[in-house]
Amino acid sequence: MQSESNMAQLLEGVPPFVHIRQNDFSGRKHKKLKEEDIAVCECKYDAYNPESACGETCLNVLTSTECTPGYCPCSEHCRNQKFQKCEYAKTKLFKTEGRGWGLLADQNIKAGQFIIEYCGEVISSEEAKQRSQTYEAQGLRDAYIISLNANYFIDATKKGSFARFINHSCEPNCETRKWTVLGETRVGIFAKIDISVGTELAYDYNFEWYGGVAVRCLCGAVNCSVFLGAKSHGFQEINHVWEDGDARYIVENIPLYDSADDEPFPRSATTIPVQLASVPNYAAETKDNVGAKIQLEPVTSMKSKIKLEAVTSTESHYFVSMADMAGKSVVTVKKEEEYNFEDRNPVFSQTNAMISRIRSNTACRNYSIAPSPSSKKRSQPDMKQKTKTSSKKHVSSKPVAELFASKEAQEEIKRFEEIRSKATSELNSLYDEIRPAIEEYERDNQDSVATSVAEKWIQAACAKFKAQFDLNYAILKNSMLPRAARGEMVPSGHGEDDPPQGEMVPSGHGKDGPARGEVVPSGHGEPQNKVKYLTE
C-alpha cells in the first residue's frame, strides 16, 4: 500500500494522484505462486556474452513470463525481470494541446523496448463499471480504467504510475502487452517503433465505447478514427454506418465531447443524445434533407477541426457515426428514435462510459480444466451438481451386463464398471479440492492456471476417460462375439463361426482375424481373433 506521501506533486496543474510502482490489490487477493508453478528457463549466463542471460530466446521471454528471482539459472544476471525491477525508460510529463497531460520520451527508445508498467488498482468488472459511472458523475473527463482481462480492470484514476498520462493515438508509437509476473498478469507499455527523445508516447486505447457522448480524438493522425473508441464493437453497433443509397436523415447536432473544452459538457439525466448548438453551414445532400454527410477535414494538428459541409438543420437529437470512404472520413448521423441505449447497455446507458480494453498477448499456457463449458461461472453448489449429474448420465452397466448370458462377459463388464465409478468419484473429489483454483481460473480466464492443479486434473480426467473407454470396449467386444462364444443357444445349422442366415459377413473376414483396415484395440483383455462380426 502506498502512503499519501507518494501523492505526486508534479508540475503545477497536474491533478493529484497517488504514485505507485506496483499494482494495488485491495480489490482482490494477490495470487500466491506455488513452487511447482514457477517457470524456470534453460538459459546459461556467459560472462563473455552478458546478452546470453535471458534474452530473446529465453523460454520465459518467449511466453511473456518474467523469471522468478531465486529460480532463474542466470541469477543476478537475469535480464528478464523488467517489471519486477521497474526497468523503465526515461519519460517526462508535459502539457499537450487539448488532450490534457501527456508523457514524452526523455531518451531514445528502441522498438520493442519496455517503457513503463501501467499500474493502478486491480478491480473487478462490476467495480469498474460502477467507478466509471461515479467518475463521470463527478465530472472527471479523463478515463484511466483499462481492462486487464475479461474480469479484472486496472484503475489508475486515484493511484497509478506515470503510464496513466499516456494519451491515445490512432497511429501509435507504443503498444500494451501483457506479461505474467510472479503468477499475476501485468500490463506494460512497449515501443512499437524506434522513438526518439522528445517524442510524445501514445498507444491505441482500443476503447470499448458503451454509449454516451462521443469523445473526439485529437491525436492528429492522418487516418484518425475521429472518436475515441470508434472502432469498438459498441460504437459501431450503436452508430450504424450508413451506406450509399440508404434513406437519409436530417442532421443538425452532433453530440461530442472535446477534451479541450473547458465548459462542462452537457449531460442529461435520462437520455444519451446531447443538444448542441445548431450548425450554421449546411447544404442538403438529398431532396428530403435526411442523412446528410459531414466531410471531415484531415486532421493535421493536435486540435482537430470538424468542418460541417453538408448538414441540414431541423431537429435536435442525433447520433453520429463515421466511415472512411475513399480516403475521406465521412460522418453520418442517425435520428435519436433509432437508438435504444437503455435496452442495449443498461449499465452504461447514462454515462460517457469508456473503458479501454487492452488486447492480450498473453502467452498461451492455459489449460481447459473446467468440467464443461456450461459450468463456467457457476457457483459452488451448481458445479457440484454438474459433476454429479454428468456421472448420472452414464449408462448403468449392471442391466447391460445381465443381457449377456456368459458369466465371463458379465463379470468383465462389472469389473470395468467398478473401475469407472472409482475414477469418477476420484475426479469429483479432486474437483472439490481444487475448486478454488478452478473458480479463480474461470474468473480470470486469460491467466494461466497453476501447473500443479492442471496436472492433477488432467491425470484424473484421463483416468476417468480410460475407465469409460475400457467399459465401453468390454460391452462392445462381448456384443461382437458369436453367440456360442457368449454361451448363448445357437440355432441348429449355425456353426460357431457362421453368421445367422441372412446376415452379411464382411468380405475379407477370415476365420480368425479382423477385416483389413479394421481397428482392433490392442492390449484389451480378449485376443484379437475373437472380433469377427456383429450378430445383433
Ligand X SMILES: C[S@@+](CC[C@H](N)C(=O)[O-])C[C@H]1O[C@@H](n2cnc3c(N)ncnc32)[C@H](O)[C@@H]1O
Contact residues toward ligand X (CB under 6 A) are 99-102, 141-144, 164-165, 167-169, 215, 217-219, 259
How many CB atoms within 10 Å of residue 381?
8
Closest approach, Cβ 304 to ligand X, in A, equals 8
Residue closer to ligand X, measured from CB, 164 or 420 = 164
Phi, psi of 181 (to 5 degrees): -125, 115
Q: Smallest gap, in angstroms, from Cβ of residue 167 to ligand X?
A: 3
Q: Give the pairing type, strands 152-155 and 121-124.
A: antiparallel
Q: Pick the closer one to ligand X by CB: 101 or 249.
A: 101
Of 189 and 409, CB closest to ligand X: 189
Shortest approach of ligand X to residue 299 CB, angstroms?
10
Q: What is the DSSP string of 91-145?
A: EEEEE-SSS-EEEEESS-B-TT-EEEE---EEEEHHHHHHHHHHHHHTT--S--E
Tell the smallest beta-carbon distance from residue 141 to ligand X (Å): 5
Shortest reach from residue 188's CB to ligand X, in Å = 15
How far is residue 478's CA from residue 404's CA, in Å, rounded to a whole number?
A: 8
Instruction: Find the shortest distance in angstroms from Cβ 277 to ligand X.
Output: 21
Q: Which residue is nearest to ligand X (CB)?
A: 100
Q: Which is nearer to ligand X, 312 or 329 (CB)?
A: 329
- Grid coordinates representing 256? 461530442
Strands (E) in 288-392, as ranges, are: 294-295, 318-325, 328-335, 354-357
Of 115 and 471, the one with the shorter C-beta distance to ligand X is 115
Residue where the block lists cell 467386444 = 477
Q: Round to whole Å and give the CA distance between 164 and 174.
A: 14
Nearer of residues 117 and 444 to ligand X, judged by Cβ:
117
Question: 102 or 482: whose CB is closer to ligand X?
Answer: 102
Nearer residue to ligand X within complex by CB, 101 or 152: 101
What does the alpha-carbon distance between residue 277 and residue 315 come to, in Å, rounded to a whole number? 11
Instruction: Give the nearest distance from C-beta 130 to ligand X in angstroms.
Output: 18
- Three-class secondary structure of residue 364 per DSSP: coil
Select 160 or 482, whichever has its Cβ closest to ligand X: 160
Question: Could you tell me if 165 and 103 are in contact, meaning their C-beta atoms sit under 8 angstroms apart?
Answer: yes
Please state the closest distance from residue 103 (CB atom) to ligand X, in A.
Answer: 8
Read off the DSSP letter of residue 303: S
CB of residue 25 to ligand X, shortest distance in Å: 21
Query: Which 8-state DSSP code applies to residue 215?
Result: E
Name, in order, each residue with C-beta under 8 angstroms of 519's C-beta and a sequence gap of 6 or more.
none
CA atoms within 13 A on the CB side of 266: 14
Output the smallest distance, CB 102 to ligand X, in A: 6
State which residue, 228 or 467, has the beta carbon closest to ligand X.
Answer: 228
Q: Which amino acid is at 360?
A: S
Q: How far is the CB of 174 from ligand X (least distance, A)?
A: 12
CB of 219 to ligand X, least distance (A): 4
Strand locations in 226-336 (E): 256-257, 294-295, 318-325, 328-335
Choice between 14 and 490, CB closer to ligand X = 14
Of the pair 72, 217, the CB lying nearest ligand X is at 217
- CA-to-CA distance for 500 and 502, rounded, in angstroms? 6
> Rounded to 10 degrees, what is the CA torsion of 316, 319, 323, 329?
40
Task: Report the distance separating Cα 461 and Cα 352, nearest Å.
Answer: 47
* One-letter amino acid of 17: F
Residue 6 backbone dihedrals phi, psi, to 5 degrees: -85, 0
Interatomic CA distance for residues 333 and 316, integer angstroms: 12
